[in-house]
Amino acid sequence: MPSGTPKPSAASSARVETTEEGAPRRTFLTSHNLASAQGLPLWQSGGMDRAPQNSSDNTAQNAPHASPEGTVGSTTLSGNQIFRLAHRLSDGVNGARIQLARRWNFVPQTIAYQGYGSTGWVRVLGRVLLTRKPAPGSHAEHAARNGTQNVRGWRAFTSVPVQFTDVEITIGDVVTRVKADRGGLIDTVVDVQLSPGWHTAVLQAEGTEPAEALIRVVAPDVKFGIVSDIDDTVMVTALPRPFLALWNTFVLSERARMATPGMAVLLDRLTIEHPDAPVIYLSTGPWNAAPTLARFLSRNMYPAGTLLLTDWGLTQDRWFRSGQEHKHRNLERLAKEFPDMRWLLIGDNGQHDEQIYSGFAQEHAAKVAAIAIRQLSISESVFAGGHSEDGDHSASVVPWIYSPDGAGMAKQLTSLDLL
């Protein structure tokens, strides 16, 4: 690996566990072991992961972000006990979904997402799900084969994650074996020597067809990259308002979603001006929506880039995943992975992008080329539950620009010699 390009730490790929010879291996939970004993994949056995049973030694450090006490019936439970109970209930629901999926002839499928990396390592992303295959010769099969699907949002949430299943990753002549996490997600770093440019990783879980993912390998001398939010930045969604969020996420067909005026042209111009720049789409959206988002970006002529999304619901130590923490954590990770990179951070003023980007810029001013914030319209602000006022960034060493569309951003970025 070239000097100056650090290998991501093992902690950064904690979602999965490599199983190469000599590496430590975690013992997974009883349902997984039972499935192995039966000689069946976990999805066929109907077994499900159970919530971790914290010992008295680690209860305090694993306590969830929840109220300290609660009552179920006449029994008083600590916050940690309630959290474990919530995990068991969640596992019960997931187990029922597994059984229904088997009854409805859902089949396991490996889905591979675009990754990125440097010349000595790559970050590989994918997911293992139970999905319903289109009938042979049907319109749905033809649309899936040609990428012309027009799927209503709720259908993206009908698939069932396959937990803790083995996944083989092949990049060139390097083969790595990992395990998907609780949500069926693969997010791992593979050590491999590659030349700058586009490469292919092949992911295959047990009982599935192999899936290919493009990997963008960034040259060590590339100094400019792009990080962009999705909701209300490149796609008009107005997601924060609850009822509208439900409508946009679960009811609206994907082809009814609108691109933000001028943003595709802006990002396309940026990638022409900086052809080797990595493009990262960093969003708090769920991984269930990844195929829909990828088709939206492609259909609206946005440049190809890595999607960094999140999961909804319980985690090992929290009741809900923090969208702000997700964005902050990935920005910090990018700063470590590419220490000489200066990032253009693109977001909007409807949620928390300004606060997140401002905090990152204060800590890593030398790593931020500029911050571009899309201003929501009056109607979008109403739907989104309000917006922040344009902040006073006169004391910031990082340039801030504000505009309601991509054309206005492009003009200001030109004055900064970024376009």
346-368 confidence digits (pLDDT tens) = 999 876 899 999 999 999 999 99
DSSP characters over 175-228 = EEEEE--TTSEEEEEEE----SEEEEEEEEETTS--EEEEEEEPPTT--EEEEE
> Within 10 A of 89 (CB to CB), how many other CB atoms are there?
12
> What percentage of the chain exceeds 90 in pLDDT?
45
Lowest mean pLDDT across 17-26, 85-94, 307-316, 388-397:
17-26
1-219 CATH fold? Immunoglobulin-like (2.60.40)
- C-alpha closest to that of 113 among 230, 211, 231, 219: 211
The pLDDT value recorded for residue 29 is 35
Mean pLDDT, range 56-83, rounded to an integer? 41
The pLDDT value recorded for residue 79 is 56
Phi-psi group of 234: left, alpha or beta (phi > 0 → left; psi -120 to 50 → alpha; rest → beta)? alpha
Read off the pLDDT band of 57 (50, 70, 90).
Answer: very low
Contact 327, 208 (CB under 8 A): no
- State both tokens at 161: 């994650």
Lowest mean pLDDT across 95-99, 108-112, 335-339:
95-99
Task: For residues 176 and 169, give the distance between their C-alpha atoms in angstroms, rounded to a whole number.
Answer: 5
Instruction: Compute the C-alpha angle 282/98/284, nearest 5°.
Output: 10
CA distance from start to end of the chain: 31
Task: For residues 27 and 40, give the distance between their C-alpha atoms in angstroms, rounded to a whole number.
Answer: 17
Which one has a higher pLDDT value, 296 or 199? 199
Q: What are phi and psi of 217, to 5 degrees?
A: -95, 120
The pLDDT value recorded for residue 418 is 96
The pLDDT value recorded for residue 59 is 32
| HEC sequence for 273-329 | HCCCCCEEEEEEEEHHHHHHHHHHHHHCCCCCCEEEEECCCCCCCCCCCCHHHHHHH
- Rounded to two decimals, the pTM is 0.73
Identity of the highest mean pLDDT range in 26-30, 118-122, 250-254, 285-289: 118-122
Lowest mean pLDDT across 30-34, 163-167, 272-276, 380-384:
30-34
CATH 3.40.50.1000 in the chain is located at: 224-415
Which one has a higher pLDDT value, 103 or 313? 103
Task: For residues 225 and 79, give the distance between their C-alpha atoms in angstroms, rounded to a whole number.
Answer: 43
Query: Which residues, at least 6 apart from 339, have a Cβ–Cβ distance to it below 8 Å?
Result: 4, 5, 6, 367
Phi-psi group of 240: left, alpha or beta (phi > 0 → left; psi -120 to 50 → alpha; rest → beta)? alpha
Contact 167, 186 (CB under 8 A): yes
Mean pLDDT, range 253-274, rounded to an integer? 88
CATH 2.60.40.10 in the chain is located at: 1-219
Contact 47, 32 (CB under 8 A): yes
Contact 379, 233 (CB under 8 A): no
Q: Within a 13 Å sphere around the CA of 298, how many CA atoms are in the beta-carbon half?
A: 13
Query: Tell me, what amino acid is at 321?
Result: R
Query: Tell me, what amino acid is at 20?
Result: E
Q: Any idea which residue has 């490469």 for tokens?
A: 199
224-415 CATH fold? Rossmann fold (3.40.50)
Query: Tell me, what amino acid is at 97?
Result: R
297-346 confidence digits (pLDDT tens) = 999 999 999 999 987 655 555 555 656 889 999 999 999 999 999 999 99
User: Within 62-112, where are the H helices?
Assistant: 79-103
